[in-house]
Amino acid sequence: MNFAVAETGGVVVCTNEGNADIGISLPPLHIACLGIEKLIPRWADLAVFTRLLARNATGQPVTTYTSHFHGPLPGGELHYVLVDNGRSTLRANDVFRESLCCIRCGACLNTCPVYRRSGGYSYHATIPGPIGSVLNAAQDAKTFHSLPYACSLCGSCADVCPVKIPLDQQLLYLRGTIAGHGLPAAVEAAAHEVDQLCDAAHVAVQFGGPDGAVVGPQAAAIPGVQPTQCMGQTARDAGISRRRVFENSTRANNAVDSKTHIIHTLRRDQVAETDLPSLDGPWLTFGRPLDQFREVLAAVGGQALAARHEGDLPQLLAQLPSLRAAQHVWSLVPAVASVGRDWTSVTDPHELEVLDYCVAPGEFGVAENAAVWIAHPTVPHRAALFIAQHLVLVVPAREIIHNMHEAYARIDPGTPPLAYSSPDRPRPPTSSSRWSSALTVLDRLPSCWWEPKTLDFRF
């Protein structure tokens, strides 16, 4: 999960592939895991954070899929798992507290000269790059004492960070802390030892026992060293039982209830309260929102088609070759007929895997980024939006608004799950899969009329 909203109790997931949405939409049980730093105060704040994430991660105006959840699917379950894992300790530290502001956009990784040349695996940590060097070393300096030195201190990471984390200053502070504990000497000694042992470990891992113990004549070459700790080997590679690892970890941590510990730590280490910023604007507006919507939609790979009246939709969509050839079409728009079967009788969303086309109504569109909001009650199975090979969204022209702040102001967060989508990124020509994204705008305003051009888009 990318964000959780304290005001509403909802969570938000942002993806470009749709895999998370498929995984959430098909099973009846949804378990959402997120770090406690992902909490933001207000529903309206999402207008700011969804902008920051997409624009600083990939340069997109908005992620392809951004789904909001404020309750389980009908007949399903929704559970939240809030992960601390050292975050409450960082929150109590005046130096590193700002590192918890990270939204995981990856901007610091993209600009870091060290990361760009060494890659993520060289950090031997879940979170790499400048932010990973801070988070990992700040929580476990003994294990990750080398990471703050994998930095040129150029300051580029701090310059591009959208939430203004002083990463270069934090890395410099960590160097002083680590040097004060004499850990750099240990780094040099460990590097020399690894040079001698890794080759032997790489060979010996082939003879590893079920618990990762080295057996055979190679065992003497690396005394006391598990082969799975070198050359990127994992517990799975060496045949270690994942159940045994989980059980051992669980027994070690059962002594303290995690929820009680987190709450106690947060209450003990109170930080000064600050006033929330005003979100009254002024925000970006356009003289002709419909034209802006069309322009942005074309820039990200989609196209808007215009229909004077809802009755014109069948004739307009019939010009799409892929729709004419489609054998399974589920239309949630009354003017467009479904094809193949009675889709309203589907009870298991897995049956939608054969769906060629989904035609769905959109609540409104956003001129700023060409996003279209889709309310869950209008789509009985939200998986249809992600599993269909082709998607057509029908939006009234009068419902094109200016910006994301207006969008979040219009939506009641107490309603069932909702999502908005922008066209998917183009796929390579060699790909066997195709995705046609057509947006039909019902235009009842003559001053906003335009003639549709190419109607079929293949990605």
Q: Mind listing the pLDDT tens digit for each residue in 396-410?
A: 999 999 999 999 998
Q: Which residue has the higher pLDDT, 398 or 192?
A: 398
HSE (side-chain half, CA atoms, 13 Å) at 172: 9
Mean pLDDT of 27-31: 90
Residue 441 pLDDT > 60: no
* Count of alpha carbons within 13 angstroms of residue 66, beta-carbon side: 25
432: left (phi over 0), alpha (psi -120 to 50) or beta: alpha
Name residue 66's beta-bridge partners.
Answer: 14, 420
In this prediction, residue 11 carries a pLDDT of 92
CA nearest to 302, candidates 92, 113, 456: 456
Asked which of 159-173, 220-234, 267-281, 377-391 is least confident by mean pLDDT, the reply is 220-234
pTM exceeds 0.75: no
Amino acid, res. 321 = P
DSSP conformation class of 239:
T
Share of the chain above pLDDT 70, in %: 73
- The answer on pLDDT for 260 being more than 50 is yes
- State both tokens at 239: 């045949």
pLDDT at 440 over 90: no
Name the region of 124 (left: φ>0; alpha: ψ -120 to 50; beta: rest). Answer: left
What average pLDDT score do residues 110-129 get?
92
Distance, C-alpha 172 to centroid of its chain:
30
For residue 437, name the pLDDT band (cuts at 50, 70, 90): very low
Please, which pLDDT band fits residue 228 given cuts at 50, 70 and 90? very low
pLDDT at 5: 94
Distances (CA, A) of 278 to 119, 282, 285, 458: 39, 11, 18, 43
Q: What are the tokens at 86?
A: 């050292």
pLDDT band (50, 70, 90) for residue 317: confident
Q: Which residues contact 353 (CB under 8 A, 6 or more apart)?
A: 387
- pLDDT band with cut points at 50, 70 and 90 for residue 189: low
pLDDT at 232: 40
pLDDT at residue 29 tops 60: yes
Residue 251: pLDDT band by 50, 70, 90 thresholds? low
Q: What's the mean pLDDT in 311-319?
A: 88
pLDDT of residue 247: 53
pLDDT at 451: 29
Whether pLDDT at 190 is above 90: no
Q: Which domains does the chain have, with CATH numbers?
A: 183-268 (no CATH), 289-448 (3.40.50.10420)
The confidence band for 426, taking pLDDT boundaries of 50, 70 and 90, is very low
Q: Which region among 86-100, 128-142, 236-250, 317-331 has the lowest average model confidence (pLDDT)?
A: 236-250
* DSSP-based helix, strand, coil % in the chain, nearest 5: 40, 15, 40
* The predicted structure's pLDDT at residue 73: 80
Model confidence at 454, in pLDDT bands (50, 70, 90)?
very low
Burial of 378 (0-12, 13-18, 19+ CB in 10 A): middle
Q: Tell me the one-letter amino acid at 442.
A: L
User: Mean pLDDT, to the nearest integer, of 21-33?
Assistant: 89
Query: In the prediction, which pLDDT does 319 show?
Result: 84
The answer, yes or no, to whether residue 177 has pLDDT greater than 70, is yes
Q: Which residues pair with 77 in a beta bridge?
A: 29
Q: What is the reported pLDDT for 185?
A: 54
Query: Among candidates 285, 279, 302, 278, which has minimal Cα distance to 62?
Result: 302
Give how far the C-alpha of residue 173 lies from the chain's centroid of Cα atoms, to the nearest Å.
30
Find the mean pLDDT for residues 49-62. 91
* 10-15 sheet: strands from edge to edge: 39-40, 3-5, 10-15, 65-69, 418-421, 371-375, 364-366, 400-401
Average pLDDT along the chain: 77
Amino acid at 264: H
Q: For the residues 213-229, what does the mean pLDDT come to?
A: 41
Distance CA 425, CA 300 (A): 7
Give, in order, the Cα–Cα distances in Å from 81 to each of 31, 36, 157, 247.
7, 9, 30, 19
Tokens 């929704």 correspond to: 78
- Rounded Cα distance between 116 and 245, Å, is 34
pLDDT at 179: 86
